[in-house]
């Protein structure tokens, strides 16, 4: 059985310890697809973080899931739905964390924990 702990990503970003943690939490999120207005909603973020890299599944209320992988302190080298992406946040590693696919078809922003 997998143990899931509710942990704030903000605390893990600040920590310099080499540790890994699985978590599941609800966060405010904004999704925008090309040609459509951004939708602000609540998402379930489920996955893990290890040594500054995050590997999660973000599920929206309409049951759509988006895979997200990358290093919180880096702008480049992200993957969103298995496509190359980059962090578009003002300050990498701080909320809101916004990731946009390089083709510009999808942007996902994770905000405050609910």
Report domain extents, the chain.
9-113
pTM of the shown model: 0.77
Strand residue runs (E) in the chain: 20-33, 39-50, 53-59, 65-71, 78-80, 83-87, 97-101, 106-113
Tell me which fold the domain 9-113 belongs to: Lipocalin (2.40.128)
pLDDT tens readout for residues 45-69: 999 999 888 999 999 999 999 999 9
Which pLDDT band holds residue 18 (cuts at 50, 70, 90)?
A: low
**Which residues, 6 or more positions from 49, have their beta carbon under 8 angstroms from its beta carbon?**
7, 9, 12, 20, 21, 23, 55, 72
Q: Is 47 exposed, middle or buried (0-12, 13-18, 19+ CB in 10 A)?
A: middle
pLDDT at 24 over 60: yes
**Residues in the chain, overall count:** 114
């Amino acid at each position: 059985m997998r143990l899931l702990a509710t942990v704030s990503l903000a605390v893990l970003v600040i920590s310099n310890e080499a540790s890994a943690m699985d978590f599941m939490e609800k966060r405010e999120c904004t999704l925008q697809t090309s040609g459509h207005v951004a939708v602000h909603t609540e998402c379930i973020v489920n996955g893990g973080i290890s040594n500054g890299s995050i590997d999660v599944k973000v599920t929206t209320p309409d049951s759509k899931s988006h895979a997200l992988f990358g290093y919180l302190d880096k702008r480049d080298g992200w993957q969103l739905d298995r496509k190359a992406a980059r962090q578009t946040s003002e300050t990498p590693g701080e909320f809101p964390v916004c990731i946009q696919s390089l083709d510009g078809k999808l942007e996902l922003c994770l905000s405050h924990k609910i």
